[in-house]
Each structure stands twice: as C-alpha cells, then as structure tokens.
Amino acid sequence: MMKNLLTLALVFSAAIVFGQQTYPVNGSYDTRPGLFAFTNATIIVNANQTISNGTLLVKGQTIQSVAQGTKVPDGYVQIDLKGKFIYPSLIDPFTSYGLPEPVRPEGGGGGGGARRSIFVTTKKGSYNWNEAIRPETEVRNIFTIDTKKADDLRKAGFGSVNVINRDGIARGTSAAVALSDERENNVILKDQTAANYSFNKGSSQNDYPTSLMGSIALLRQTYYDGQWYNKQKKEYNISLKDFNEQQNLPQIFEVDGWQNILRAAKIGKEFGKQYIIKSTGDEYQRIDAVKATGSSLIVPVNFIKAYDVEDPAEARNLTLAQMKNWEMAPGNLAALEKAGIRFALTSYGLDNPKDFWTNIHTAIENGLTEKQALLSLTEIPAEMIGISAQAGTLEKGKLANFIITSEDLFKSTNVIYENWVQGKRYVVSKMNINQLTGIYNLTVDNIGTLNLKINGTTATVQQQGTDTTKTNANFVRNGDWVSISFNLKKNPSGGVRLSGYLTSENPVILRGESVLADGTGGKWSAQFKEANNEPPKSDNAKTVPSTGKLIYPFGAFGTETAPQQETILLKNATVWTNEKEGILQNADVLIENGKIKAVGKGLSAGGAKIIDATGKHVTSGIVDEHSHIAIAGGVNEGAQSSSAEVRIADVVNSEDVNIYRQLAGGVTTSHLLHGSANPVGGQSQLIKLRWGKTPEELKFGGNDGFIKFALGENVKQSNFGSGMRFPVTRMGVEQTYIDEFTRAKEYKAELAVKGSVVRKDLELDAIVEILDNKRFITCHSYVQSEINMLIHTADSMGFKINTFTHILEGYKVADKMKAHGINGSTFSDWWAYKFEVAEAIPYNGKIMHNIGIVTAFNSDDAEMARRLNQEAGKAILYGNVPQEEAWKFVTLNPAKMLHVDNRVGSLKAGKDADVVIWSDNPLSIYAKAEKTFVDGVLYWDIDKDAQLRVTQQSEKARLAQKMIESKTKGAQTQRATKRAPRIYNCESLEDYSAELNDMEGVKAHE
C-alpha cells in the first residue's frame, strides 16, 4: 500500500493544468486557471502568416487568441517576449514514443533463415492465421507516457507525435499524443490516427513470410480476405474485422528505400489506397518515379556520416553509391520540395535526438526552404494524422502547443527556450541567456587558464601568454548544458573533454567536470570576460553546396543520361542468324526503332550510323532461362510447400550491378525465377537488361506468365531447415501436387457456381491459371524418378509442363519428355554438388537435343550467366553438337521455351534489336562481347566501359577529398567496412524480416 501511495503522490506533485475529469484526487484539489499572456512576440501563426509584436493568450490547454495589440485581460500571467519568437510546436508523424520495444525473435539473419516450423499464429483467440497481420493492435491500448523520451522530443521542439507500433505487416492503429507528462487520459489527442503497414513481419513467430515478395503476397491476400470477410458468416475473425474497420483511416506504410516506395504504392493502387509512405531519405535518386506514385511521404533526416578515407586501402571498401549518397542525401528534402511532393519530416531513425537540428540545418543549407521545413514539421504532419483541428498552427481554439525561440527557428544560432504543451510550460533553456557568445577565462584543473572564445555555435581555445595558437573546439549547447572538447596538441597533448552547465547569468559562468586524455578527472569553470566582437558565422550564405550529378542507377556504372535508341548498320560481320539462313559471312544487320530492320548482305545504310564489324561475330542476345539476379528481398518464399501466390514481379531490383555485368557477357533477357525451396514456388518474371531503368521498365512486357515448380532434395529440405515442413520425401512431393491441383480444380468449380462470394485465394488462382493454360511451369528437377512422376501427375491432373529446368537426368527420360513436348533447360557440366546429381552428365544437353527436345543451357548463377556463350561451347566439347545448334542453346531455344521467340532469340527482320557484337566465335573462350544492344539501345560497350571506370575513379577521388575536408571541419565520421555483394541462386535462403530485425537490434543496443 505504501508503495502505491508514494507513486500517486509523485504523480500529483505536479501542478494540474487541466482537470482530471474522472480520476479522484487524494487530498485537496489543485486545479489552476492556467491563464497566460505572451506579449511583444513575433508570432509565427503558420508558415504563411507572421504577427509581429503580437500577443498570444492561453487559457488552460487552449489558445484563446493570437493577435496584435490585444489588451491583456486581468488574471493573466504576463510573459514579455520582446525580441523573441513563438512558433507552433513541431509534430512528428512517425515515432514509437511511449511503446515497449517489440520482442523480436532470436537471430536468423544468417544464411539459413529463421525457420522454426511455426506455420500458424501462436496468439490465442480468434485472430488472423498469420501473426504478422495484427490490425487488432491499437496504440491507444498500449501507450504509456515515457517522461525521458518526452523530454528529449520537447527539447527538439516537438509538442505532439504520432505513435506507431512498428511491428508486423498490418500493424493496427496509431494514436496522436501530446508530449506532456500528464496522465495518458489527457495526452491522447486522437485515438486512431491511421492504420499502419510495412513489409517487415516483425516479431511474428511464423515462418511465413520469409521474403519481401511473401510479405507483399500476404498483404495482398489480406486485402482480399477483408473483402471476403464482410460477405460471409462462417468465421469470426477479430483481425479481419478490425482490418476492414481501419480502411477509412489514413494509411501509413513504412518502407526502406525508394524501390519499396514504388512497391508499396503499387499495392495501394491495386486496392484503391493512397498510402502515406514513411521513406528512408533516398527518394532523390528516383524522384520522378516517387512523384508518379502520388504518395505523400514522411521523411527522416538521418543523414549518414562521412567515412574515414585517409587510408586509401580502407577507402576502397566504399562504393560509389555510398559516397555519392553521403554527398547527395542532405539534398533529398530540397529535391522533394522542388518536385512538389508533399512530405512531413520525422526525427525517427536518428542515432541521437540532438542530431535533429544539426541535420535540419544541413538540409536547409542544401536547398530546403525554411517555409517548407516549417510546413513539413507542423501543418503537413497535422493533416496526415488528422489533428489539424488541434495542432500545427497557432489559432484560436487549438491546443496551446508552441515553442518560444530566440530567433528564427531555422537559424543555426537559434535557441529553443521553452516548449509549452497543452498549456503547460517546459523550460528547455534559460530564456535570459540569449547566447553564450563571448570571450571567457577558462580554468581547467591540471591545465590552467585558457582563453575560450564562443561564437554562436562554434568555439576556439587559446593558451594565455606567448603561445597564442588557436585551437578549434567542439562546442555543443543543449539548454543550460554545454559540452566542449578540444585538443591543444601540447601542454597537454590529447583530447580534453569538458561538460558542465550554466551556473550564473550575470556574469555568465559555466562550470562542470573535466576529463583529460589520460583519464585524469577534475573540474573546470569559465567566466565571461568580454564581448566577442567577431562577426558570428554567417547563416545566410545561400549558395547551395554543389554536388556531383545524379546517375542512373545510383552507383557503379550508372550514367547521367539514359542511352538512346539509334538507327545502326552493323557491317561486314559473321552473322549468326539462328534462322534458316544459318551463319552468314560478310553480312550486315540494320537496327531501327528498337527492331531489326534487315539482315543480309550489302544492306544500304540510309541514315544509319555505321559500325564496321569486319572480323566480328554478330548474334542475337543471350536469353537466360534460369536467373536470380535483380531480385530484392529473397528468392525463396519457402515457409510453405506452395507459394504460388508470390510474384517475382513485385520485387524486381533494377539497381543490381549484375545486370550490367551480364550485359557485358552478351545477355539481354533473363527469366527471374523463384528459388527451389518448395514444390510449388512463386510466379517468375521475364526481364530485359535495360540497365538504368526502373523495375517496371525492366519487365519484358506482353509475355506469358510462368511459375517455378521444384522437385528433389531442396523441396524435401534435405540439406537445410528443420525438416518439419511437409514434404520430406519424393513420395510427399507427389501428394503435394495432387492436393494442390485437386484443391485448385474444386476452387475453380466453386468460383464458377458461387462467384465472388468465394474467398479469393491468390495461391489457387495461380494454379487455376496453369490449368487454363494461362500460366506455364518451369520445373527444377534432377533425377528421373521424380521427373517421371511429375509427367504422370500432369497427365492425370490435366495440366502441362512447359519446361524442366536443371533437368540433369533429362537424358534418362528424354523420350518421355519428347513425347510430352516438354522443353529442357539444363547446366552444361555441373554435377557432384549433391547426391541427386551423382549421375548428372555433361552429355545431357546433347542427348536431349538429339532426341528433338528444345534444349537450353541456363545459369542459375550470376557469375556463370556472364559467359553462357562459353557454356554453349561446352555442347561441342561434350557431344560435338553442331556450332549453330549449340549457339541456339542460349538464344533461340530458351526464347522458344519462354514463348518469346516471336520477339527475341534470332536475327530476323521485325524482331527486337537485342544484338551482340563479339570479338570472336561467340562459343569460344576467346570471345568478348564488345557491344550489347537491347531494343536497339547500346547498354554495353567495352570501350565506353573503360571511360566510365575512369570517370568513376575521379568522382570517387573528388568525394574522398570532400569527406576529408568535412572531417577536418569537425564532422563526425565512420569507418568504411567491406560489404559482400548479395548474390542469389536457386538455393539461397534468407529471412528478409529477420535481417531487418537484426539491424534494428544493433540500433537498439547502440
């Protein structure tokens, strides 16, 4: 009992600004009138209206009036703010203030993924099957005041924030709260500000989803489930009920990276939602694409620190992208403003709340206007979270949420004196001390007396006496607290750190603790001696710092402007047509409007640019039937035996350098496949290697859809995983297919009868497409027994197998494949890497080809894909396949099996101008791709590549120099560490969310 009483006593020791309506009071009530008049102030009512010499009247938690020449009524406490400013306090639309840290599942960020064989929710009650869908989470139910964090936020000028439970894919509702430390009942401004989403499953213990495309699929299915839920009476589901009820709220979607902005916006478009997107600050890299989504953004100001680049060996760990981002990210907000994108700012993601203003100033130096900054910190976030009636501007009837500042809020010398929240005063720094600028006698134990010169936000120290060398000091003022650090180099050498506080105002005296380089502790004090007449550092040098140019993609081998289609005549080459004309000597290829105009001898150039290809070989571009490049957030959604609902189309990654590398190997079309972790994988995506374009622009366009199936060791999880997911034998694999197709047929029949009341099942939709010959199977396969099985299953269930991919024992069942018209896409010579390839032979391609199967060699490997031409050459080494036919293994044949041989795969008038110029016979080890065209656009040119590398080197040198300069000026830096590029193959397993969580974990411990 005693303990409880004590707690209450503490709570109520604060004055009560506004009545606690329902709570009884232990003792006499202490309800105060709360009447304040702020006079003679410059009042910034909103970004467009300023009242000079104005008066602000506050009663309780409400603004009574804001005007010039108001007579202060009796009973008001008058506060004279002559020379000072009043701003509406800031609003942060994206915080986790007042919420417990979500418990993340253990580890799992490594290669193996975090599979724990938990297939459905562990949450008891009538909730959604998957824990990542948790719309029932309402911040209003779990929010508690956090006085420490509230204080940090208030010091930065915030008066209210939106509180979001950052956990899960559908995260439930957020709430807007004021940053007062009154009881929760009084600070909640709006109980449901928005419904919240992300691609991160967060603390969910379920295996599903493991990938970004799985997160997208789950969210998409949830929208359909919500629609279905309203039309049915069979099931009561709190999650879906709440999900539906939240659809009329603003919708906030947290993403990382501009590509995920596009991905989120695409889902929004599908379901008629316009999300407000919390981004990560890299939007400037593709501002047009971001703008085209029409999304409003919530943007962080956590710019990265410069890197230590003095050591060239270490500096090489940095990529061009990292270095350019360091330079250009501070201009992100200016770019957003210029593009006319509506955005709010958030302090979320800052390592240290004190960095908030430093970074705002940096953004302003880099071109963000003060007006936009104010809008983005007040009115816009207020609108976004629906509290415009209460906050965001200083108007009658709104909450008395405002800050008192020494000058223009955005000046770097500005000091926030007070932050009033709901009519309650919080002192940030003593108001009478405008600035600490001046010359002081600084006395430090064990050093003696020094001259300390404070000038606005900078300071220098100087020995008194003969040696008058000035040393720059790091000076930080935070309210009444100051910290100063410097290194005199001698007497003593090493860093000296002082921290202390303002102890006297007239004269100004600072006092505190000191620590010398060797750890010796002591005391220090600084007493004002005389005014500092040096002019303060000018704020208004309004030249925006110059930066390098934007390049597309943003990183190595990106270019400022996209290469264009040209009309080109390739003259006098050995032309491998892949058509009945065969290999033509001394022939020409004419390219126009992205198409092949003509192939033949002695073509007339007309207006075409002529490329002399004498001695060269010209072919159509390579088509890789089995690739995993250019995919974001994992290639396997392997938590369930079927993931037919996931789509590589959702996660194409246009920034993958492997696109460029493969162009350098003559590849022009890649079939991006789901991995092989489960019998029914995901839907694949065909792309062209249009380097520099956006993910949507990479898509081949107009082609048939495919889906990945898989057999063998991977799907039965022989070499990874817990072995708890069905199936674990080839016997179970058969039944997985039978069950899947049986259910799909029943689903189709039910749809036909009952129509839209049937729950839309994205997984079965994909299977129905297969049954309807609208989607085609490429099946990862190794040994003959399972291949035979799938052929039988297909016959009995009434579907077709388009392609067996890998198909290393295709040579054992080639006759059966031929009889069923199934294509074979294999490796040239891989074997022995697991037991099921014990009898994989390099003659496989030859035998399948000779039987009459359309045969291809694929890569499944970002490295091998760069030299698929040589892999085709191995069909000669192993089996003596005629060269012309071997070449088709990597061009026309894969085009045929992907149903795009009407557009690519050979050199024929009317086809896409995907053309490669080789230095030699393309099947030879000595052949280099010298030029690669996609749609008549020259994306790879071995000579231009050499120039590009030189440009890139000098750009990196310039940036390194700039980083060194910024470090010399005192900016914080970080070390550059090597990062391994991420390369996927069929068997790559990872957990998208687990990795994100690991990173958050590190952050939490910093």
Rounded distance, CA 139 to CA 57, Å? 33
Rounded distance, CA 429 to CA 416, Å? 7
Rounded distance, CA 197 to CA 201, Å? 10
Q: Does 630 contact another protein by CB under 8 A? A: yes
- Out of 339, 550, 876, 964, the residue judged to bind another protein by CB under 8 A: 876
Q: Which range binds another protein by CB under 8 A, 189-197, 366-374, 829-837, 962-970? A: 829-837
Q: Which range binds another protein by CB under 8 A, 12-20, 258-266, 595-603, 798-806? A: 258-266
- Out of 189, 321, 382, 648, the residue judged to bind another protein by CB under 8 A: 321
As measured in angstroms, the least distance from the Cβ of 320 to another protein is 5
Q: What are phi and psi of 253, to 5 degrees?
A: -120, 120
- Out of 20, 274, 952, 966, the residue judged to bind another protein by CB under 8 A: 952
Q: Does 880 contact another protein by CB under 8 A? A: yes
- 499 by DSSP, 3-state: which? strand
Q: What is the 3-state secondary structure (H, E, C) of 885-906?
A: HHHHCCCHHHHHHCCCCCCCCC
Q: Does 15 contact another protein by CB under 8 A? A: no
- Out of 36, 38, 552, 557, the residue judged to bind another protein by CB under 8 A: 557
Q: Does 829 contact another protein by CB under 8 A? A: yes
Q: How many residues bind another protein (CB under 8 A)?
A: 101
User: Whose Cβ is closer to another protein: residue 57's or residue 837's?
Assistant: 837
- Out of 923, 934, 937, 994, the residue judged to bind another protein by CB under 8 A: 923
Taking residues 275 to 314 in sequence order and writing x for each that binds another protein by CB under 8 A, - otherwise, the string is -----x-x---------------------x--------x-
Closest CA to 351 of 302, 421, 402: 302
- Out of 104, 154, 708, 846, the residue judged to bind another protein by CB under 8 A: 846
- CA dist 786 to 678, 731, 772, 823, 841, Å? 14, 9, 24, 16, 17
User: Whose Cβ is closer to another protein: residue 424's or residue 616's?
Assistant: 616
As measured in angstroms, the least distance from the Cβ of 930 to another protein is 12
- Out of 48, 68, 78, 719, the residue judged to bind another protein by CB under 8 A: 719
Tokens linked to 324: 């350019």
Run of H or E including 669? strand 667-672
Taking residues 881 to 900 in sequence order and writing x for each that binds another protein by CB under 8 A, - otherwise, the string is --x-----------------
Half-sphere exposure of residue 461: CA atoms within 13 angstroms, side-chain side: 25
Rounded distance, CA 247 to CA 154, Å? 32
Closest CA to 407 of 543, 540, 545: 540
As measured in angstroms, the least distance from the Cβ of 979 to another protein is 4
- CA dist 128 to 167, 434, 616, Å? 15, 57, 62
Please report, as residue ranges, which positions from 122 to 161 form the binding site for another protein (by CB under 8 A): none
Q: Does 879 contact another protein by CB under 8 A? A: yes
User: Whose Cβ is closer to another protein: residue 73's or residue 723's?
Assistant: 723
- Out of 87, 660, 706, 709, the residue judged to bind another protein by CB under 8 A: 660
184, 175 Cβ separation under 8 angstroms: no
- Out of 18, 129, 271, 843, the residue judged to bind another protein by CB under 8 A: 843
490, 568 Cβ separation under 8 angstroms: no
Q: Does 862 contact another protein by CB under 8 A? A: yes
The single-letter DSSP state of residue 224 is H
Please report, as residue ranges, which positions from 517 to 556 form the binding site for another protein (by CB under 8 A): 555-556
Rounded distance, CA 466 to CA 872, Å? 80
Q: Which range binds another protein by CB under 8 A, 38-46, 320-328, 337-345, 522-530? A: 320-328
The DSSP code sequence of 330-399 is GGHHHHHHHHT--EEEE-TT-SSTTHHHHHHHHHHHTT--HHHHHHHHTHHHHHHTT-TTTSSS--TTSB
Q: What are phi and psi of 634, to 5 degrees?
A: 100, 145
Q: Does 939 contact another protein by CB under 8 A? A: no
Q: Which range binds another protein by CB under 8 A, 3-11, 420-428, 807-815, 898-906? A: 807-815
Tell the residue number behind the tokens 């958050």, with chain if given: 1000
Closest CA to 654 of 148, 286, 275: 286
Q: Which range binds another protein by CB under 8 A, 76-84, 227-235, 246-254, 944-952? A: 944-952
Q: What are phi and psi of 945, to 5 degrees?
A: -60, -40
As measured in angstroms, the least distance from the Cβ of 814 to another protein is 7
As measured in angstroms, the least distance from the Cβ of 918 to another protein is 11
Closest CA to 497 of 513, 477, 511: 513
User: Whose Cβ is closer to another protein: residue 596's or residue 630's?
Assistant: 630
Rounded distance, CA 428 to CA 405, Å? 10
Q: Does 113 contact another protein by CB under 8 A? A: no
Please report, as residue ranges, which positions from 744 to 773 form the binding site for another protein (by CB under 8 A): none
User: Whose Cβ is closer to another protein: residue 241's or residue 982's?
Assistant: 982
Q: Does 653 contact another protein by CB under 8 A? A: yes
| Cβ count near 48 (within 10 Å) | 11
Please report, as residue ranges, which positions from 79 to 108 form the binding site for another protein (by CB under 8 A): none
911 CB-contact burial (10 Å; exposed 0-12 / middle 13-18 / buried 19+): buried
Q: Does 835 contact another protein by CB under 8 A? A: yes
User: Whose Cβ is closer to another protein: residue 345's or residue 851's?
Assistant: 851
Q: Which range binds another protein by CB under 8 A, 415-423, 675-683, 757-765, 981-989? A: 981-989
- Out of 976, 986, 989, 994, the residue judged to bind another protein by CB under 8 A: 976
171, 198 Cβ separation under 8 angstroms: yes
Rounded distance, CA 764 to CA 469, Å? 77
Please report, as residue ranges, which positions from 334 to 363 form the binding site for another protein (by CB under 8 A): none
Please report, as residue ranges, which positions from 387 to 426 form the binding site for another protein (by CB under 8 A): none
Please report, as residue ranges, which positions from 685 to 714 form the binding site for another protein (by CB under 8 A): 713
Residue type, 924: S
User: Whose Cβ is closer to another protein: residue 299's or residue 380's?
Assistant: 299
Please report, as residue ranges, which positions from 178 to 207 form the binding site for another protein (by CB under 8 A): 199
379, 393 Cβ separation under 8 angstroms: yes
